[in-house]
Amino acid sequence: MKTISNPSQSKWQKLAERPLIKQRKLMDTVEKMFYNIHRKGDKAVLSYSRTFDYAGQQTLAVDAETIAKAADRVPERLKQAIALAQKNIETFHRSQQEEVRKVETAPGVVCWRESRPIGRVGIYIPGGTAPLFSTVLMLAVPAKIAGCSEIVLCTPPDEKGEIHPAILYTAWLAGITKVFAAGGIQAIGAMTFGTESIPKVDKIFGPGNQYVMAAKRSAQFYGVPIDMPAGPSEVLVIADQTCNPAFVAADLLSQAEHGPDSQVILLSDSKQVIKAVNREIDLQLPTLPRQEIAVQALKNSKAILFRDLDDCIVFSNQYAPEHLILAVENPVLLSRDVVSAGSVFLGNYSCESAGDYASGTNHTLPTGGYARAYSGVSLDSFVKKITFQQLSEEGIVSIGNAIETMAEAEQLHAHKNAVTLRLGAVTARQLQAATEITPENSTEEEKKEERDETF
């Protein structure tokens, strides 16, 4: 991991860039595959799957029996861990449910907003070198709470043509019945257009490598929304003299092992801290089964020495990390200056792994600097917010003149007329009511005259 000391602010933007493959070549690959999937459906998806994942693949759908039998291959201890994580994720996401609040914005004008679930959602679960069954929980649990009617899951098969049993078990536990052995660009393309086997979805969720992220961007062009840009994983750690260097090194390596295109960043106001963390990385790295992957990621990573923690937090906001760890003496105080990050971890014991698995927050987060404008997945990601308004006669009168004036100024006379007709109807009814004399609405004097005439 390269160490940089006190870079001038003019260099910060360059330092905040992520490692990327050539985008034009990447998008050309996506468009070619999308074109074939749109035309040939399952045939194209299977062809790509045989090329990139399992050469002998014959079908895409995973049958119910295979899903059910997966439970027998998952150790009981792991089942208990998954159950605990599911409970915490459900608790946190249920807390995001909103009550309907009706507001009278003007006399007789009532407005409110209600949530409606997205119908069919597609979730992509990376499953190549790291079968991310935890992502099944992160996406399926809020989808179920939101009330989505159907959840379609796509995940790549391994070199033997199998899907990791923990992914299938977690899918079953979360109530997912449609699972397909398809990964990468071909999975996103299938959920975008629909094939003979894989249905077209209303929105696509899930993390992935740069190929998956590029495919998700293309899906939007073809009318299928996505959760957010979520590509190669990343973490930024701000550490001062109070940090535990072994903890910091472990957090950096936990993201580096995701993939060779991942990136980890260490910021500190202490040269000694950076040296100590690098020593710990050298000690811990040889013990990791995914050492080769982590080594590749570390080549794209940096440790940067800044003058003080204020500079560290300013750079972090410019970088906008997916995960931000504040391993400092006063993390809560420093966190008040955080304006761009996917998820923040406060203090020496708040490891990023907690958010990845079992604290309850969602680990599907914006990467590549998109945290400057995007939020992580939440319950809101699976619903549409629909606004309602109801105007009485009093309501149209109270705001009608303003609407007419604004519509006329924008030269939208049909808009104005829609109000003018209603105001006219209200005025006419009021005039009619005023001219109608009945025993119920006549004055006392008129009632006396009526009685005198009777006698």
Q: Which domain holds residue 418?
A: 392-454
In-domain check, residue 380: no
In-domain check, residue 12: no
Q: In the predicted model, is pLDDT for residue 455 greater than 80?
A: no
Strand order in the sheet with 383-391: 103-106, 109-117, 383-391
Q: Are residues 39 and 61 in the same domain?
A: yes
Q: In whole angstroms, what separates CA 243 from the centre of its chain? A: 31
Tokens encoding 80: 């208990």
Give the residue with greater pLDDT, 444 vs 91: 91
User: What is the C-alpha end-to-end distance of the chain, expressed in Å?
Assistant: 110
Q: Are residues 206 and 238 in the same domain?
A: no
| CB neighbour list of residue 223: distance below 8 Å, 6 or more residues apart | none
Q: In the predicted model, is pLDDT for residue 444 greater than 70?
A: no
pLDDT tens digits, 260-312: 889 999 999 999 999 999 999 999 999 999 999 999 999 989 999 999 999 99
Residue that is written with structure tokens 């990621």 in the block = 297
CA distances from 325 to 126, 169, 252, 398 (A): 24, 31, 10, 52
Confidence band for 333, pLDDT divided at 50, 70 and 90: very high
Q: Are residues 208 and 293 in the same domain?
A: no
Q: Are residues 216 and 248 in the same domain?
A: no
Residue 1: per-residue pLDDT: 85
Q: Are residues 210 and 247 in the same domain?
A: no
DSSP state of 63: P
- Name the percent of the chain lying above pLDDT 90: 86
Domain boundary among 186, 203, 227: 227
Q: Are residues 320 and 361 in the same domain?
A: yes
Confidence band for 259, pLDDT divided at 50, 70 and 90: confident
Domain boundary among 375, 403, 436: 375
- Name the percent of the chain lying above pLDDT 70: 95
CATH number of the CATH domain containing 127: 3.40.50.1980
Q: Are residues 213 and 241 in the same domain?
A: no
Residue 209: per-residue pLDDT: 82
Q: In the predicted model, is pLDDT for residue 42 greater than 80?
A: yes
161: phi > 0 → left, psi -120 to 50 → alpha, else beta; which? Answer: left
In-domain check, residue 349: yes
Q: Does 449 qualify as catalytic in the annotation?
A: no
Q: Does 322 qualify as catalytic in the annotation?
A: yes
Q: In the predicted model, is pLDDT for residue 391 greater than 50?
A: yes
Confidence band for 435, pLDDT divided at 50, 70 and 90: confident
CA distances from 350 to 158, 315, 346 (A): 33, 21, 6
Domain boundary among 375, 407, 431: 375
In-domain check, residue 5: no
Number of domains present in the structure of the chain: 3
pLDDT tens digits, 74-126: 999 999 999 999 999 999 999 999 999 999 999 999 999 999 999 999 999 99
In-domain check, residue 119: yes
Q: Are residues 131 and 172 in the same domain?
A: yes
- Taking the C-alpha atoms of residue 120 and residue 204, their distance in angstroms, rounded to an integer, is 9
Q: Are residues 201 and 282 in the same domain?
A: no
pLDDT tens digits, 371-390: 999 999 999 999 999 999 99
Catalytic entry in 257, 322, 352, 404: 322
In-domain check, residue 14: no
Catalytic entry in 93, 164, 258, 323: 323
Q: Are residues 364 and 396 in the same domain?
A: no
Predicted TM-score (pTM) of the model is 0.89
CATH number of the CATH domain containing 429: 1.20.5.1300
Q: Are residues 165 and 64 in the same domain?
A: yes
- Amino acid at site 82: I
Q: Are residues 221 and 239 in the same domain?
A: no
| CB neighbour list of residue 41: distance below 8 Å, 6 or more residues apart | 193, 195, 196
Tokens encoding 318: 């410019």
Decide: 85 and 132 in contact? Cβ < 8 Å. Answer: no
Beta bridge partners of 115: 385
Beta carbons within 10 angstroms of residue 136's beta carbon: 29
Q: In 200-308, which residue ranges form alpha helices assigned H by DSSP?
A: 210-221, 245-256, 271-284, 291-299
Q: In the predicted model, is pLDDT for residue 443 greater than 70?
A: no
Closest by Cα among 202, 62, 227, 67 to 138: 227
In-domain check, residue 384: no
In-domain check, residue 108: yes
- Taking the C-alpha atoms of residue 122 and residue 153, their distance in angstroms, rounded to an integer, is 6
